[in-house]
A and B are shown apart, each in its own frame.
Chain A
Amino acid sequence: MSDRSPVPLTPAAIPLGSAEFEAISRWPFVDPFVSRLLRDDIPQRVQFGNCRIWTYREPSGQIVGFGTLDVCNDYGAFTAGRFHLYIPLLAVNPTIKSLGYGTTIIRHLTDEAALLASRPGGCHDVLFLDVYTTSGKAIDLYKAAGFEQITPEPIPDLQEMGKLYLVMAKRVALATA
């Protein structure tokens, strides 16, 4: 697991329709898939599910990234149908030079997931995410944060012209001493 973040960022939960959400929705991501996920999936996950959104500000006040965390049943086949934690999307502002912001964001989301999973009657203690195999930097980031590939082979995304993706997971249960 990666240690303390190299850059301190201040997370803040934001609602849909806020100025912050509108601002991050306009970021010019190189991969249009990220914009589509943010504009189409995240609002639905918030309204019809249990998704939360955070922005991350550096000490100057500038928003440098965002992260999302849902409690859903998308990978219920692997959790005996129980609701589990899932990271639909996180991103760093593509117009700035990242100084390890992704590490800070994934750490915050993982910590939040651990807190949710440790509540009495909480959800399943495995945190899932999926990532296209073309996103090499993202895969490295997740591996460094302790995520492991759980699907032995990449899976073709049938709606995205067979683009291959991996399912990764990390247990966020607290160890018993």
Chain B
Amino acid sequence: MTTFDLSEVRRFAADLDARMNRCDNGEGMECATLDDSLLHYAALCWEFREGVRQWGRAVFSGRVKFDPEVEIVLIGEGTRLYKRADERFAYSRQEEADCFSLDNTTRLGAALKTLSQLLNPWITPKLAVGPSARQELSLTPGVAEEVRRRIEALPPLPVEWQPVDPKQQTQFKKLSRKRTV
């Protein structure tokens, strides 16, 4: 999506609906097997999430004006998608318990968790309070150059730098090992 106006968002939602229907009806090869259908639903969840995030950022930064109708369409689509993906997930878990293991159950489980976090709590986007996201700096060429020069001149962390927090120290040791390999 680029403009996030109501007609574009409706098309986005209708496209997701159509792809869910095609999958559920066994049309095409994308959902030829149960495992394929899990991957298909996981992809739809990620795509929906990315669409909402882009819309949210566009409103937050002031590039797009908030439209409550768009929000209604997105909440409705997200709720429908979650329900249908969750049904597919539950079915796959049941099948797995009976006889075999599916590669994409974990993928769909992760996608569902992320989608659930997006829907609960649902955050209504609005223009940012802080200036950095909503206000483009209009600097003269001379000032912009001075800013770049100052950023270039920022020194790196000292050679002996180490994080203070024990969890961060563990991460740092792992990263250091990777850097030396």
Contact = CB atoms under 8 A, between A and B. Distances in A.
B132 A115 contact: no
Interface residues of A, number: 62
B128 A44 contact: yes
A74 B133 contact: yes
Contacts of B147: 78, 150-152, 167
Given A74-B132, A77-B136, A174-B157, A48 B151 contact: no
B158 A1 contact: yes
Q: Which secondary structure dominates where chain A touches chain B?
A: mixed
Contacts of B168: 108, 111-112, 115
B118 interface: yes
Given A33-B129, A44-B126, A171 B164 contact: no
Interface in B129-181: 129-137, 139, 143-144, 146-148, 150-151, 154-159, 161, 163-165, 167-168, 171-172, 175, 178-179
B148 A78 contact: yes
Given A44-B56, A44-B125, A171 B157 contact: yes
A126 B154 contact: yes
B14 to A, nearest CB: 23
Contacts of A138: none
A120 interface: yes
A128 interface: yes
B72 interface: no
Interface of A: 1, 4-5, 11, 15-17, 33, 36-37, 40-41, 43-49, 72, 74-75, 77-78, 86, 88-89, 107-108, 111-112, 114-115, 118-120, 125-126, 128, 130, 148-153, 155, 157-160, 165, 167, 169-177
